[in-house]
Every structure is written in structure tokens, then in C-alpha cells.
């Protein structure tokens, strides 16, 4: 039973990871990561880490992934959809230098996997082929919330406090980073048109206009502003995601 559950969860976790790396649309990558996280939580449960599995599902698959989905929707993932037939082309990459970069990445990844497997499985640890230390179910045994809470508030109090302070700093930093600035190169801040700019100038529609008199300053300003707005709308398209 436990072995079957392990193989199902491990296959799900690896398939989710492959999906995150290969899917072209960032939204689908986020969904694949949710699958990966839930399968990983099952693996944590099999390793008797009940509290960490619960935190994984609640915090990661719940809160952090919602944040990701919001940002993907905000940034606008206009990627092309997943098609099996174009998978090879996607892996080889497109554009100059793309194929070499992908090939180098694959070679590096293979080397890394080999090295990790040697380092993890080739150690002299005898317990690595066993099932781990003894375990007896109980209310305060290894991995339960009571056990983790006691450790966090006694031996690891400093780590606990530092982690909470780190979260505070990150929240403040995110607000500062994503805040709307009044800077000069903020592309969203167009120069606002005043209502008076749109009113027809004093001598519009008169004989003076017909004989080619220079435009009144207010009209020239309004036309200039309209033209600048049209130009900025033309020249700053949203860049497509890759």
C-alpha cells in the first residue's frame, strides 16, 4: 500500500516538475506546480512529516500559488498554447543562440543529476537503504504539530524569530517594489489633458483660419498632446511573453 502510494506520488511530483519546465504558457506552469506540490505533500506524509505536509498544502499550494496566479493574470501570459507536435521545436529553442543554450542547459542538467545521485545514493550511510528510525504513532510523536511546535519554541526559537522578521521585511519590500511611482519614466502616467485643451480655440471656424493664420497657442497645445498620446499608444505595445 505504502509502496503503491509512493510510486503514484513520485510520478505525479516528477510529472508536475516536467510540466513546469516544458509548458509554454506560464499559467499552465503554475497549475503544474500545484500538482507537483500536492504530490510532494503526499511524499511528506509517507515520511511521517504530518505538520510539514499540512503547511505545504495550506501555505504553498494555497497562498503562494494564488499570488502566482494573480501575477500571471496581471502580467498577461499571452503565450501560445501547448501542442505536442511542437514540443521538439520548443526544446531545441528558437532564435539565435537558442538551440545552443538549450543543449548546454540539458548537458549541464544531466551532469548535475548524475552528480546528485552519486552524492546522495553513493554515500556510505547504512540507514539509507532502510526505512528510517523507529516510529510509533502517538499524540506527541515525531512529526506531529505538538512536536514541531515544541521544537520551534525551545531549541529553534532564534530561527523562528528570524524567519518571522524575514517575512516582515519581504512584505515591506514587495509593497515598495510594486508601488506606483510618480517617476518620469512611468509609462502608465500619461500627461493629462485639461478640459480647456479640448475646447475649440477662439478663432476656429472663422475666415482667419481659412486664410492660413497660425493656430492659437491653446489649439496647438491640444493637438500636440493628442498626437503625443497616440504616438505613445502606438510605440509601446505589450511585449509578448516567451
Q: Which is nearer to another protein, 121 or 199 (CB)?
A: 121
- Per CB under 8 A, the list member of 86, 213, 229, 242 interacting with another protein is 242
CB of 238 to another protein, least distance (A): 7
Q: Which is nearer to another protein, 43 or 218 (CB)?
A: 43
Site for another protein in 4-33 (CB under 8 A): 6, 10, 13-14, 17-18, 20-21, 26, 29-30, 33
Residue 224's Cβ-side half-sphere holds a number of Cα atoms within 13 Å equal to 8
Is residue 47 within 8 A of residue 28, CB to CB? The reply is no
Residue 146 within binding range of another protein, rule CB under 8 A: no
Residues 6+ apart with CB under 8 A from 39: 9, 10, 12, 13, 16
Q: Which is nearer to another protein, 101 or 199 (CB)?
A: 101
Q: Shortest CA distance to 35 belongs to which of 55, 18, 56, 13?
A: 13
Q: Measure CA of the first residue to CA of the last residue in the chain; give whole Å.
A: 42
Binding-site size, another protein (CB under 8 A): 93
CB of 40 to another protein, least distance (A): 6
**Residue written as cell 509578448?**
240
Residue 67 within binding range of another protein, rule CB under 8 A: yes
Residue 48 within binding range of another protein, rule CB under 8 A: yes
Residue 136 within binding range of another protein, rule CB under 8 A: no
Q: Which is nearer to another protein, 22 or 215 (CB)?
A: 22
Is residue 87 within 8 A of residue 181, CB to CB? The reply is no
Q: Three cell numbers at 193? A: 489633458
Residue 74 within binding range of another protein, rule CB under 8 A: yes
Which is it for the CA torsion 87, 91, 23, 69, positive or negative?
Answer: negative
**d(C-alpha 81, C-alpha 71), whole Å:** 19
Q: Which stretch binds another protein (CB under 8 A): 81-89, 106-114, 193-201, 219-227?
A: 106-114
**d(C-alpha 176, C-alpha 179), whole Å:** 5
Site for another protein in 159-198 (CB under 8 A): 159, 163, 166-167, 169-171, 173-178, 180, 185-188
**d(C-alpha 242, C-alpha 79), whole Å:** 6
CB of 225 to another protein, least distance (A): 20
Q: Which is nearer to another protein, 155 or 202 (CB)?
A: 155
Amino acid at each position: 500500500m505504502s509502496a503503491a502510494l509512493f510510486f503514484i506520488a513520485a510520478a505525479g511530483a516528477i510529472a508536475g516538475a516536467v510540466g513546469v519546465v516544458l509548458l509554454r504558457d506560464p499559467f499552465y506552469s503554475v497549475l503544474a506546480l500545484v500538482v507537483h506540490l500536492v504530490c510532494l505533500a503526499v511524499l511528506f506524509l509517507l515520511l511521517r512529516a504530518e505538520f510539514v505536509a499540512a503547511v505545504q498544502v495550506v501555505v504553498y499550494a494555497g497562498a503562494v500559488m494564488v499570488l502566482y496566479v494573480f501575477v500571471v493574470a496581471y502580467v498577461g501570459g499571452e503565450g501560445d498554447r501547448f501542442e505536442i507536435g511542437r514540443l521538439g521545436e520548443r526544446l531545441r529553442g528558437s532564435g539565435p543562440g537558442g538551440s545552443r543554450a538549450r543543449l548546454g542547459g540539458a548537458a549541464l542538467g544531466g551532469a548535475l543529476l548524475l552528480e546528485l545521485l552519486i552524492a546522495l545514493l553513493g554515500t556510505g550511510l547504512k540507514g539509507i537503504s532502510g526505512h528510517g528510525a523507529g516510529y510509533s504513532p502517538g499524540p506527541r510523536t515525531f512529526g506531529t504539530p505538538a512536536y514541531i511546535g515544541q521544537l520551534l519554541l525551545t531549541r529553534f526559537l532564534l530561527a523562528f524569530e528570524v524567519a518571522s522578521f524575514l517575512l516582515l521585511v519581504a512584505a515591506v519590500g514587495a509593497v515598495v517594489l510594486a508601488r506606483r511611482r510618480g517617476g518620469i519614466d512611468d509609462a502608465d502616467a500619461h500627461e493629462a489633458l485639461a478640459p480647456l485643451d479640448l475646447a475649440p480655440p477662439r478663432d476656429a471656424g472663422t475666415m482667419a483660419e481659412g486664410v492660413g493664420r497660425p493656430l492659437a497657442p491653446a489649439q496647438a497645445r491640444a493637438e500636440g498632446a493628442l498626437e503625443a498620446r497616440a504616438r505613445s499608444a502606438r510605440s509601446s505595445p505589450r511585449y509578448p511573453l516567451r
